[in-house]
Structure 1
Amino acid sequence: MEKLEDFLSGEQIILGFSQNALLAVLLCGLVATSSGIIARRLLFPRIIDLISKTERIDGRDIFAPRSLGWMIGFLIMSLTLDWIGNNGDPVWNENYMNTISNLFYAGFVVLMLLAAFRLVDYIDVLIVVEGDDMAARRSLASVAESIGRVVVVVVGFFIVAGLAGVDANSFVAGLGVTGLVIALAAKDSVANMFGAISILIDQPFNVGDWIVVGSVEGEVISIGLRTTQIRSSADTMITVPNSNITNSSVENFSQRRFRRIQPTFDFEVNSDPDALKKFCDSLCKQVVDDPRSMKSEDSWIRVKSFAPSMVIVATNFYCMSSAATQREFTEDILLMARARAKDNQLNFHEPRRREHQQL
């Protein structure tokens, strides 16, 4: 320490600083700036790589928010100035340096809160993983981010109040009465928060699901602490309070195990009964044998009813739960029906031709 004291000693040249003391302050600033840059651009991406639970995120492509770099820099600056003041005998203005050190520490606290608020966006790195429950984990991450921001704001409020010299005991006691008043005034917001928790626990739907809630239908985009955002088929964004969702029935189309296909076919009234029977059996076998078909034991095709001018054949088939598969399979079933009708010399009902024959 004697060498440090000798280095920091000397005559005052500017604002009460010796030449070496001023140089030490500049070196502290350089070290603090370098530490912030290293922490933001090197350490943070490596930490993200280590704790990330999904390979889709490459820590090398991620930079921490700038507030994190400044936070590290301010902390290093405050600690080094305090260490020099306590372990050396620098020739500088004590009052001036104490004020600077306190300002750096206060800046560190404020930047820490800002960095924490920004780092909430990285919660999905810890929660979201590849797997079958990806949608559920995205929903959890969405709610966790909202809760995280609220926690950061509340904790930051108490920290800033403490730095301002507010007595914590009297402050907390005052919050008891104030909190009751706020809770009564903001009961809808509280209900929405509990609604978010209910959605998170019960999981009636997840982010990415297509749902119907009351008169609202669309894809779930995000689940927040107060509201859930749904994008409609018209590409509009609908914001629904969570309390409304928990108090309403939710129809989740994304949870369907299969999709039903029920085309009907109308044949001329004078169609041969044996030909109709062969048509039904052959078409049913062809559809059931298709790899896209499901629930073969519940699939059927039968003559449903007779009308004055036609015979109505009803069908009931199932396919895997995919809109694209349903559209493609429905088209193929119609083409199969046309081919089987031709094989059995059956004519589809044409009202205009029937009217022409009557004339």
Structure 2
Amino acid sequence: MDMLDEFMDGPERFGGFSTGTLTVVLACALLSFGAGIASRRMIFPRLMDALSKIERIEEGNPFAPKSLRWMVVFFVMWYSLDWLSAMVVLDDGGLRESGPVWDAELMETVMTVAWGGFVVLVLLTAYRLVDYLDAFIVVEGDNMAARRSLASVAESIGRLAVVVVGFFVVAGLFGVNLNGLIAGLGITGLALALAARDSVANVFGAISIIVDQPFNVGDWIIVEDVEGEVVTIGLRTTTLRTGADTMVTIPNSNITNSPVENFSHRRFRRIRPSFEFEEDSNAAQLRQFCESLCEQVLADPRCTKPEDSWVRVTETLPSKITVSTNFYCASSGKTQREFTEDILLMARARGNESGLKFHEPRRRAQM
């Protein structure tokens, strides 16, 4: 300490700073920047590895947000200057006996700005770090869709909490007296409660969605005649991306009070093509068609639930005979499309083999 005090001592040369004091202040600034870079690129990733319960849902930048770096820079700078200012010793006449030689008023302003910047950056960093909550969310069975849903709601709650706390912190930082505002809340509480009724209902709707899990992020659903993929589940609304690539926002309270059809929870997909033959088709030919088509489709490895699969004559009219089918395949859109196409081609081949004529309305109109 004596060596540092001796180093900072000397005549004023640069704006009220001695050469030694200016050197120490610049060293503090360099130290602050170094601490900020190290905290973002080295310390934060190691802390995440040590504390996180599971890998993050989205593999992104492993480093902390840039606001954390600047938060550390402002804090280390403020702490260093505050430590240096504590070394100042004044004599009975108010003159400096030891400590840094600098412009005290200027450095007081710098420390105030550094502290204010640190507080604001703490709030900004907390808001940014909410995105990292998914590394601490673990669900039974490692259900990725459930993790996405929980992370979506947790991030919404976290951001709301940071905004509310930040409002009071920043107000206090600027010397705003909140006592009157808090007292006024008691008078206007009823009006606020009535105005926020829908918002509260939406928040409880989000909680119901997370608890009951009628769907998760990434599921394809239909709710209130809107069909699309669940993109986010927020505190107030749930966002769907439709097949037309548009975004639809639905209040959570509406979802909890409406039927939800979830296509992503299907265990299988149903295939039900039907075929129409001329009214003079022979019964034996029709029976041969039904049996041969059913046998060929059931032999395909993509076919599931054979006990519930069938091909039968379901309707006879004066102009045509209808044969309906019922088959199942795995819950895959690609498999369903390919299998449906193959069943149609099989039916055409089996119909020609059986000597049947497919119904053609235009031919009858010409006759």
TM-score of the pair, normalised by structure 1: 0.89
Counterpart AA for 1:316: N
- Which runs of structure 2 are paired with 1:213-232 in the superposition (5 Å)? 213-232=223-242
- Which runs of structure 2 are paired with 1:113-128 in the superposition (5 Å)? 113-127=123-137
- Which runs of structure 2 are paired with 1:196-211 in the superposition (5 Å)? 196-211=206-221
Q: Aligned partners of 1:108, 1:210: CA distance in 2, in Å?
A: 44
Give the equivalent residue in structure 1 for 2:96: none
Going from structure 1 to structure 2, the CA distance change for 1:56 and 1:209 (only over 3 Å counts) comes to closer
Give the equivalent residue in structure 2 for 1:7: 7
Give the equivalent residue in structure 2 for 1:71: 71
Q: Aligned partners of 1:237, 1:167: CA distance in 2, in Å?
A: 42
Whether the aligned pair in 2 keeps the contact of 1:227 and 1:241 (CA below 8 Å) is: yes
Q: Aligned partners of 1:173, 1:286: CA distance in 2, in Å?
A: 79
Question: 1:221 offset after TM fit, Å?
Answer: 1.5
Give the equivalent residue in structure 1 for 2:36: 36
Instruction: Give the secondary structure class of the aligned counterpart of 1:12.
Output: coil
Counterpart AA for 2:10: G
Listed one character per residue, the Cα deviations across residues 175-227 of structure 1 (whole Å, up to 9, x for unaligned) are 45555542322222222222112112111111122222123222222111211
Give the equivalent residue in structure 2 for 1:54: 55
- Which runs of structure 2 are paired with 1:1-359 in the superposition (5 Å)? 1-50=1-50, 51=52, 53-54=54-55, 61-87=61-87, 89-127=99-137, 133-165=143-175, 175-354=185-364, 359=367
Whether the aligned pair in 1 keeps the contact of 2:276 and 2:321 (CA below 8 Å) is: yes
Whether the aligned pair in 1 keeps the contact of 2:241 and 2:248 (CA below 8 Å) is: yes
Q: Aligned partners of 2:40, 2:190: CA distance in 1, in Å?
A: 42
Instruction: Give the secondary structure class of the aligned counterpart of 1:17.
Output: coil
Listed one character per residue, the Cα deviations across residues 298-340 of structure 1 (whole Å, up to 9, x for unaligned) are 1111111211133221111111222222111111111111222
Whether the aligned pair in 2 keeps the contact of 1:120 and 1:148 (CA below 8 Å) is: yes
Question: 1:27 offset after TM fit, Å?
Answer: 0.7
Report the count of equivalent residues: 356
Moved more, 24-33 or 321-330: 321-330
Instruction: Give the secondary structure class of the aligned counterpart of 1:206.
Output: coil
Deviation beyond 6 Å, 4+ runs, structure 1: 128-131, 167-171
Going from structure 1 to structure 2, the CA distance change for 1:291 and 1:354 (only over 3 Å counts) comes to same
TM-score of the pair, normalised by structure 2: 0.87
Moved more, 267-276 or 237-246: 267-276
Question: 1:171 offset after TM fit, Å?
Answer: 6.5
Q: Aligned partners of 2:166, 2:150: CA distance in 1, in Å?
A: 24
Question: 1:353 offset after TM fit, Å?
Answer: 3.9
Question: 1:56 offset after TM fit, Å?
Answer: 7.2
Q: Aligned partners of 1:65, 1:41: CA distance in 2, in Å?
A: 10
Listed one character per residue, the Cα deviations across residues 140-179 of structure 1 (whole Å, up to 9, x for unaligned) are 1111111111110111122223434567877655545555
Counterpart AA for 1:103: V
Q: Aligned partners of 2:117, 2:188: CA distance in 1, in Å?
A: 29
Whether the aligned pair in 1 keeps the contact of 2:57 and 2:148 (CA below 8 Å) is: no
Going from structure 1 to structure 2, the CA distance change for 1:244 and 1:300 (only over 3 Å counts) comes to same
Whether the aligned pair in 1 keeps the contact of 2:57 and 2:134 (CA below 8 Å) is: no
Q: Aligned partners of 1:56, 1:188: CA distance in 2, in Å?
A: 31
Moved more, 282-291 or 125-134: 125-134
Question: 1:57 offset after TM fit, Å?
Answer: 5.8
Whether the aligned pair in 2 keeps the contact of 1:295 and 1:318 (CA below 8 Å) is: yes
Q: Aligned partners of 2:106, 2:236: CA distance in 1, in Å?
A: 47
Going from structure 1 to structure 2, the CA distance change for 1:56 and 1:254 (only over 3 Å counts) comes to closer
Moved more, 74-83 or 33-42: 33-42
Q: Aligned partners of 1:45, 1:208: CA distance in 2, in Å?
A: 28
Unaligned runs of 5+ in 2: 89-98
Whether the aligned pair in 2 keeps the contact of 1:128 and 1:141 (CA below 8 Å) is: no
Instruction: Give the secondary structure class of the aligned counterpart of 2:86.
Output: helix
Going from structure 1 to structure 2, the CA distance change for 1:204 and 1:177 (only over 3 Å counts) comes to farther
Q: Aligned partners of 1:126, 1:120: CA distance in 2, in Å?
A: 11
Q: Aligned partners of 2:265, 2:302: CA distance in 1, in Å?
A: 18
Going from structure 1 to structure 2, the CA distance change for 1:47 and 1:130 (only over 3 Å counts) comes to farther
